[in-house]
Structure 1
Amino acid sequence: MAEPPGAVLVVVPTYEERENLGPAVARVHAAVPHADVLVVDDASPDGTGELADELAAADPRVRVLHRGAKAGLGAAYLDGFRYALSGEHQVVVEMDADGSHAPEDLPALLAALDSADVVLGSRYVPGGEVLNWPWHREVLSRGGNLYSRLALGVPIRDITGGFRVYRRAVLEALHLETIASQGYCFQVDMAWRAVRAGFTVREVPITFAERERGASKMSSSIVAEALWRVTCWGLSYRFGRGDIPQEPAGPVTEGARS
C-alpha cells in the first residue's frame, strides 16, 4: 500500500504522567506538526487529566478522553482506537507518555507505511537500541520476545513493544471487541492478529530510553498474564483451530509497557 497515509492520530494513554505529558505532546508536534494527539487519561490523581484539558484548550490538535478509573493499558488503547475509527483518522499511533518512545522516531515509522500496514518501532532489529535499562529488565524483555516469537511462529523481533503505527483498515479488521489482554501481552495480541489476518507488518529501529520522571507500571502480574496468554495462543495455534486468537480464561491485570 503506497498511498499517502492520511490523517494521523497519536494515542497516548496516561496515568499519573503530569510531569511528562506536556513535553511529550510538544515533541510529537515538533516531529509531525499535522498529527493529532488523543490523551486517554484514567482519572489520574496527580492532575494529568486536567493538564490534558488545558493542552486541548490551547491547541485544536490535542483531544482528551477521560476514563473513570485506572482500567489498564490495553483497554485505554482500545478506547483510543474506537475514537479514531469514529472519525476521519486513517493512521493510528500507539505511544507512551513517559518519554521512553522518542517522537523524533515517528516520521520514520510513518514513512514505513509506504510498504506496510502495521509498523512496529523495534528495539531489537539492527539500528535499534535500549538506553538506561537495568540488565534484568532487558533480559526479561528480550526473553519475552523470544518466547512469543517461538510460541506463535512469527518472525517479529520486538512483538512486545508499544511504539507502533496502524493503518485504519487494520483496526477495522481485527475484531477489537474480542480483545481483553493487557500490558505488553496486548501488544503481542495485536501484532499476531495482524499477521494472521494477512496484513504486512514491518519493524523499524527505534531508540528506547528508560523514563526519567515517574515510576514504571511494570509488575509481576503483567508478566504472568503475558506468559499465560501467549502459551494458550501458541498451543491453540499449533494444535487447535489455528485462527485469530480469542481470549482464553486467565488473569486480566492492569497494563504497562514492556
Structure 2
Amino acid sequence: MVVPTFNEADNLAWIVGRLRAAEPDLHVLVVDDHSPDGTGDIADALAAEDDAVHVLHRAGKGGLGAAYLAGFAWALDAGYDVVGEMDADGSHQPEQLHRLLDALAGADGRGSADLVIGSRYVPGGSVVNWPWRREALSRGGNLYVRLLLGISVRDATAGFRVFRRSALEKIDLASVQSTGYVFQTDLVTRCLHAGLTVREVPIEFIERERGDSKMSGAVATESLRRITQWGISERREQLRRERARRAGRRP
C-alpha cells in the first residue's frame, strides 16, 4: 500500500498501525516529500521496527500524483502483484481495505477486476463530517467528470484504490504528466481506455481529525481545468473516429 505524506507527523504512526493490524500480510510504502514536520523521521522509525514498512524519501513537495508515480515504480520494481494507494490522514479506513481486495480477486462474486476504487458515491458509500458545500463540490465535480469524459465511474476522484500489477503496466505510467489531485481521474480514464475492468465498492470516508488538508481552491480549479482539456480532446477524437467510420462506408 503506497501512502504519500507531507506534514503528516500527527497521523502516520496511527494509520500505519491500523493498516498492519487490519491486513497483517500487507506491506506499506511511505512516500514522504521531505516533510518539514519530521514525518520522514517517523516513517524511518516505523520501518526500523517493522520489516513490512518501507520508506521512499523524495527531495521536496512535488505533488500527489508524482508521489504516487514514484511509489508505484518502487512497488513494481520490487515485484509486488497488487499495489494500492490511500491517504495518510485517516479519511480512508484500513479496516475497509478488505472490501477492495475482495473485489479485485472476485471474491465478492462479481468477477475479478483490474482496478478497484473505494467509492463514496455508490450505494452504501458515505462521507462523514464534511460541510455540505464541500460534498456538493465533490459530487458536482464527479458528475462533471462523468459527463465530460463519458465514463460511468461515480467517484473518479477517489484516492482509496488497489491495482493489479498488470493494470499499472498496461496504462504506461511513464507518460502520465498529471501531478496533482487530477492524477486520480487520469488513471481511471487510462484504465477504461485500455479496456481494463474498473469496479467501485462502497466505503465510509471520514474527514481528517488531525493536521491540515492539502486540498485548496487553487488545486480544485487546476483539476477542473485539466479535466476540461481532456474532455474536449476526447470529444474531438470521438468525432474524428466517427467521421473516419462514415467515410469508410461510402461507396
Same fold (TM over 0.5): yes
Q: Which runs of 5+ in 2 are unaligned?
A: 107-111, 241-251
1:190 aligns with 2:187: yes
Q: Which amino acid aligns with 1:33?
A: P
Q: Which amino acid aligns with 1:76?
A: A
- Check whether the contact 2:3–2:88 (CA below 8 A) recurs between aligned residues: yes
- Could you tell me which of 12, 26, 37 is aligned with 2:3? 12
Q: Which residue of 2 aligns with 1:24?
A: 15
Correspondence 1:1-258 to 2 at 5 A:
10-113=1-104, 114=106, 115-240=112-237
SS at match of 1:51: helix
In structure 1, how many angstroms separate the alpha carbons of the residues matched to 2:194 and 2:239?
A: 12
TM-score with structure 1 length normalisation?
A: 0.89
Deviation at 1:242, TM superposition (A): 8.4
Deviation at 1:59, TM superposition (A): 0.2
The alpha-carbon distance between structure 1 residues 167 and 242, as it changes in their structure 2 partners (threshold 3 A), is farther
TM-score with structure 2 length normalisation?
A: 0.91
Q: Which amino acid aligns with 2:25?
A: H
In structure 1, how many angstroms separate the alpha carbons of the residues matched to 2:224 and 2:118?
A: 22
SS at match of 2:162: strand
RMSD of equivalent CA atoms: 1.2
Q: Which runs of 5+ in 1 are unaligned?
A: 1-9, 244-258
Percent pairwise identity = 60
In structure 2, how many angstroms separate the alpha carbons of the residues matched to 1:24 and 1:242?
A: 47
Q: Answer 1 or 2: which has greater helix percent.
A: 2
Deviation at 1:178, TM superposition (A): 1.4
- Check whether the contact 1:182–1:222 (CA below 8 A) recurs between aligned residues: no
Q: Which residue of 1 aligns with 2:109?
A: none
Deviation at 1:241, TM superposition (A): 6.5
